[in-house]
Structure 1
Amino acid sequence: MKEQTAATAPRQQAPPGGPADAAAAKPDRAVIRDSLGVGVAVGLSGFAFGVTSAGAGLTLLQTCALSLLVFTGASQFALVGAIAAGGNPITAAAGAFFLGTRNAFYGLRLSQLLALPRWVRPFAAHWVIDETTAVALAQPGRRATRLGFAATGLTLYVLWNLTTLLGALGAEAIGDTAAWGLDAAGPAVFLALLAPMLRTATERAVAGVAVVLGLGLLPVLPAGVPVLVAALAAPLVLWARGRRSRGSEEEPYDAKGADR
């Protein structure tokens, strides 16, 4: 066998923080710029949550507590949406909890990349959401990953809570939010944030099936339950695609057997 030369031998990827990490370093200014862009764009949508929550009948204190303590937009919108539709708090909380479990999977990945001290991890876990994960994963090295995560988390947390407060106060000032059409602000913002993320055929299929399940079951199931059933869209689509792939692989063998 021919020996591999240094030029042809496959290179091992160095762990974050090593020499390769230093070579691929990204300027702090660029990381901060990206983080602020995401944090400001998404943080301003907290206003829609404040309006939606107040319109659903939650008090100012309850609305602000949700943003301070829960701090995961989709789950917050799901909770107040189910309550506004007349669902009981247990069902509404179950739907919100189910949507929030995705952050646990983000945390498994980020724990390896960030490698934070043990005492910092419980505090950092509160900022493990879609946006901080996306910015952190886009960075080339550990330093940039930590900076991107922290800058995005801080910007988004401050702005989200501030705009939540402003939205709730504004909703109380104008009275009936439904009369102004502001009760639709939350779902509209969430769809606007979600739509650009649906890039592959599988993602679009999952979204389409989820919409059909959610809207189709809305008239027959209690409020808050359709969103739980809509979560079955992902396994259903993946199962269908897997079955179709297996069928296409077996087809040549079936054709050969038919010729015999």
Structure 2
Amino acid sequence: MTAPHRADSAPGPVPTSGRAADPATAAARARPDAAVVRDALGVGLAVGASGLAFGIAGATAHLTLWQTCALSLLVFTGASQFALVGALAAGAAPLAAVAGALFLGVRNCLYGLRLGPRLRLPRRLRPFAAQIVIDETTAVTLVQPDQRSARIGFGVTGGSLYLVWNLSTLGGALGAGALGDPSRYGLDAAGPAVFLALLWPRLREGGEERSVALLGALLALAAVPLLPAGVPVLLAVLAVPAVALLGRARKGGAGKGGDGA
């Protein structure tokens, strides 16, 4: 009597809620640590090599070897570093150059808000982790399927990138110093070129990113003949709220049009 009743009420094993029925999700969660390390190292080594261009850019801006290396050790966010030395090379006041770099670095604080709940690192490690919260570590961390993989991806990407970036910065600064004036060899264009290379993938996505870039460029170009060096870069930041307000206005107009129809 009991056996047929069991067969009717439970025809097969019931999967637990902890095991996903989606094969893709299950495969992703079974991803080995070695695969995460391999991908993280690839990002860290590839992007870290760009520190060579920053070392050259620092020499172009007439920074000393120690000043250039200190920026990579302490600041460690490529966009802000290139913006700072670029403004200094253009003759901007140090305060204006630092302000522009800080504007670009604010996004790392927002990254930290996303990564904190994902990583849940012990309190004693958080000050060290904050130093490597940048674009690349955020991207690698957020695509991981679980907390263990996220921690591995974050640590390996940040550690390898930090090491290679600082070593290549030293190499670039030493090489540029040995060559003399970098502008004689066209090396003064290396910094801006790498900056644009890092920015280009975002511009290809289109949307608000492209609109902000175009409006910011127009504002900066219009201000160059009128304002001191370094100030046009700060003025270009106004493109962010302008594009945001325009986007809200368009959405509001579309919503009203839809209601009227």
Report the TM-score when normalising by structure 2.
0.86
Structure 1 residue 244 corresponds to structure 2 residue 250: yes
Secondary structure of the 1:119 match is: helix
Partner of 2:10: none
Contact kept, 8 Å, 1:25 with 1:144, in 2: the verdict is no
Larger Rg over CA atoms: 2
Aligned-CA RMSD value: 2.2
Cα distance in 1 for partners of 2:201, 2:82 equals: 19
Q: Answer yes or no: is 1:111 the counterpart of 2:129.
A: no
What is the CA–CA distance in structure 1 between the aligned matches of 2:27 and 2:107, rounded to whole Å? 31
Partner of 1:221: 227
User: Shift of the alpha carbon at 1:21?
Assistant: 9.2
Alpha-carbon distance between aligned partners in 2 of 1:212 and 1:45, rounded to the nearest angstrom: 27
How big is the shift at 1:76? 0.7
2:238 pairs with 1:232:
yes
* Gaps in structure 1 of 5+ consecutive residues: 1-11, 15-19
Contact 1:76–1:96 (CA under 8 A) maintained in structure 2: yes
Shift of 1:214: 2.1
Q: How far did 1:248 drift?
A: 2.2
Q: Deviations over 1:36-71 (max 9, x none)?
A: 121111111101100010111100011111101111
**Alpha-carbon deviation of 1:95?**
1.0
The answer to whether residue 146 in structure 2 is matched with residue 146 in structure 1 is no
Q: CA deviation at 1:151?
A: 0.4
How far apart are residue 158 of structure 1 and its match? 0.6
Partners of 1:207 and 1:51 lie apart in 2 by 25
CA contact (8 A) 1:110 1:133 kept: yes
Letter of the aligned partner of 1:209 in structure 2? L
* Aligned mates of 2:127, 2:184 — CA distance in 1: 42
Letter in 1 for 2:240: A
Structure 1 residue 234 displacement after superposition: 2.0
d(CA) in 1 for partners of 2:74, 2:159 = 14
Q: How far is the alpha carbon of 1:197 from its aligned partner?
A: 2.4
Runs of 4+ aligned structure 1 residues displaced above 3 Å come to 20-23
Q: State how far apart, in whole Å, the 1-side matches of 2:148 and 2:36 are.
A: 10
How many residue pairs get aligned? The number is 240
Task: Compute the displacement of 1:247 (Å).
Answer: 1.3
Q: What amino acid maps onto 2:219 in structure 1? A: L
Q: How far has the Cα of 1:106 moved from its partner?
A: 0.6
Q: After superposition, give the CA deviation of every residue in 1:104-158 in whole Å (9 maximum; x if it has no partner).
A: 1111111111100001000110000111111111111100000000000011001
Which one of 84, 87, 94 corresponds to residue 89 of structure 1? Answer: 94
Asked whether 1:175 is paired with 2:180, we answer yes
Structure 2 gap ranges (5+) = 1-16, 20-24
SS at match of 1:101: helix
